[in-house]
């Protein structure tokens, strides 16, 4: 079977795929992760807030995002963001956002719901005695969160946050439906251009397997190092 494979198509295109497609994928993944963690942390604090309406709104947002398919959300924001941008700046025509910025907004808002639950679990895992001790020292809510709770929560949840980021890295491949120049999208174009779908998709699968397996191994190593012995 492999005698019919044209491995030359991979040799001709792999540099281009990594320099353009993988760079796009990694850039979108890192920016989405950073934005998602920040927004997810704010949502987690809101969910744990004693202000009931704020907690309800945060919970509703998280449950909505986790109940809707990511592909559908990608299409939503791809078509809606230009109109939202026009409404914000008072323009009469939809703003030309582009596939990258539309996808970035989508992944930040979508992944924030998952990062929120991770951070909420990390915050709730901190012993209440530490919070009471900080409050007894006269610290207000934001001081307790910023200096006592969140640093420990981030350390405890770092392996889980990185694992979710690996999932995000895989999910970014869905932007090929927007004709974005990500790794999978460019590989698909090369495959259709040269009529070598099997070779290119096997190559893409192998690249993702190697990268995700390696990253998962690093996360396990990190988990053993940062684990807090109680």
Q: Domain with 118 in it: what CATH number? A: 1.10.3720.10
- The DSSP output letter for 142 is H
Q: What is the pLDDT of residue 174?
A: 92
Phi-psi region of 91 (alpha: psi -120 to 50; beta: other; left: phi over 0): beta
Give the N- to C-terminal CA distance of the chain in Å, as an integer. Answer: 55
Q: Is 91 helix (H, G, I), strand (E, B) or coil?
A: coil
Q: What is the pLDDT of residue 229?
A: 47
pLDDT: is 224 or 66 the higher one?
66
3-state secondary structure 173-223: HHHHHHCCCCHHHHHHHHHHHHCCHHHHHHHHHHHHHHHHHHHHHHHHHHH
- State the virtual CA torsion across 72, 75, 78, 80 in degrees, nearest 10: -80
C-alpha neighbours within 13 Å on the C-beta side of residue 49? 17
Stated pTM of the model? 0.86
Rounded CA separation 152/175 (Å):
34
Rounded CA separation 99/96 (Å):
9
For residues 131 and 139, the answer to whether their CB atoms sit within 8 Å is: no
DSSP string for residues in 109-138: HHHHHHHHHHHHHHHHTS-HHHHHHHHHTT
Mean pLDDT value of segment 138-148: 79
**Whole-number average pLDDT of the chain:** 86
Q: What is the pLDDT of residue 217?
A: 92
Q: What is the pLDDT of residue 146?
A: 78
Residue 1 has pLDDT above 70, yes or no: no
Which residue stretches of 6-68 are H helix?
8-16, 23-47, 52-67
Mean pLDDT value of segment 146-153: 82
For residues 198 and 6, the answer to whether their CB atoms sit within 8 Å is: no
Residues of the chain with pLDDT > 70, as a percent, come to 96
Rounded CA separation 90/182 (Å):
32
- Domain containing 25 equals 2-226
**Considering only CA atoms, which of 209, 115, 217 is closest in space to residue 160?**
115
Number of domains in the chain: 1
């Amino acid at each position: 079977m492999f005698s019919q494979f044209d491995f030359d198509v991979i040799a001709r295109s792999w540099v281009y795929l990594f320099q353009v497609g993988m760079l796009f994928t990694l850039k979108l993944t890192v920016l989405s992760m950073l934005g998602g963690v920040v927004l997810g942390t704010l949502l987690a604090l809101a969910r744990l807030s004693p202000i009931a309406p704020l907690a309800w709104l945060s919970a509703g947002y998280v449950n909505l995002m986790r109940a809707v398919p990511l592909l559908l959300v990608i299409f939503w924001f791809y078509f809606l963001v230009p109109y939202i941008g026009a409404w914000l700046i008072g323009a009469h025509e939809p703003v030309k956002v582009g596939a990258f910025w539309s996808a970035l907004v989508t992944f930040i808002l979508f992944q924030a719901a998952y990062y929120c639950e991770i951070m909420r679990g990390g915050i709730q895992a901190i012993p209440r005695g530490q919070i009471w001790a900080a409050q007894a020292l006269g610290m207000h809510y934001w001081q307790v969160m910023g200096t006592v709770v969140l640093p420990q929560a981030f350390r405890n949840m770092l392996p889980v946050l990185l694992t979710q980021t690996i999932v995000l890295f895989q999910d970014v491949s869905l932007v090929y439906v927007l004709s974005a120049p990500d790794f999978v999208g460019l590989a698909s174009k090369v495959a259709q251009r040269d009529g070598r779908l099997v070779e290119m998709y096997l190559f893409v699968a192998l690249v993702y397997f190697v990268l995700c397996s390696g990253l998962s191994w690093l996360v396990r190593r990190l988990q053993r190092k940062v684990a807090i012995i109680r």
